[in-house]
Amino acid sequence: MQETKNKVEAILFTTGRFMTIEEISRLTRVASQGIVKQAIQELKKEYDNNNSALTIFEEENKFKLGIKKQFNYLTTNLLSDSELDNPTTKTLALIAYKKPVIQSEIVKMRGNRAYDHIKILREQGFVTSEPKGRSRLLDLTPKFFDYFDLVENQLKEKLAIEESTDEEINNPAEQNED
């Protein structure tokens, strides 16, 4: 169960948004949604019992790892001063997943604002851009891997999310549930 709790915690921490049990189950590759729900409840108890600044929020059967309200004032300045805004971060994630990628493909997926995002990412040294036909070829720099503490040859593996098949969900006894 500890490994399942660790997986759930990692997913909730990374996404920072409300997620359904089904989503969490799929992302953690734990087929039993009951075990995922139990892991979430145990994590919530642990955060509450340890007087942690973190807690798990529940809203309409969705869960999110967040900071308790009494500590929000500490993070307000940090969030407004972050290096990359959310849309730029999403563009960077897409570039990282598809790397190397043609700029026009990113713009097609993210819209014309992606040109601004790519400019910021180039200025901050996260991506390179070189001419490729009528577009540009975007790739990640060593700074990206250092900043996010990633190893280049493991990037796609870390970003890849395998879809669970219906059989995996319907036959949880066949899956390793920890």
Dihedral (CA of 84, 85, 88, 94) sign: positive
Is residue 91 located within the same domain as residue 70? no
Last residue of a domain, one of 74, 101, 127: 74
Reported as a single tens digit per residue, the pLDDT across 27-58 is: 989 888 899 999 999 999 998 888 888 889 88
pLDDT band at 174 (very low <50, low <70, confident <90, very high): very low
Reported as a single tens digit per residue, the pLDDT across 138-160 is: 999 888 877 776 666 656 565 55
Residue at 97 is within a domain: yes
Reported as a single tens digit per residue, the pLDDT across 95-109 is: 988 888 999 999 998
Number of domains into which the chain is organized: 2
Q: What is the pLDDT of residue 162?
A: 36
Q: Mean pLDDT across the stretch 11-29?
A: 87
> Which CATH number covers residue 110?
1.10.10.10
Q: Hey, what are 137's tokens?
A: 């070829």
pLDDT band at 168 (very low <50, low <70, confident <90, very high): very low
Q: Which residues, listed in sequence order, are joined to residue 65 by a DSSP beta bridge?
A: 56
Is residue 95 located within the same domain as residue 137? yes
The pTM of the full predicted model, rounded to 2 decimals, is 0.45
Is residue 70 located within the same domain as residue 126? no
pLDDT band at 176 (very low <50, low <70, confident <90, very high): very low
Is residue 68 located within the same domain as residue 111? no
Residue at 7 is within a domain: yes
Q: Hey, what are 164's tokens?
A: 């669970």
Per DSSP, the residues of 60-119 read: TTEEEEEE-GGGHHHHHHHHHT-SS-HHHHHHHHHHHHH-SEEHHHHHHHH-TTHHHHHH
Q: What is the pLDDT of residue 77?
A: 52
Count of helix runs (H) and strand runs (E) in the chain: 10, 6
Q: Hey, what are 18's tokens?
A: 């409300």
Burial 99-113 (b: 16+ CB within 10 A, else e): bebbbeebbeebeee
Q: What is the pLDDT of residue 53?
A: 82
Contact 8, 43 (CB under 8 A): yes
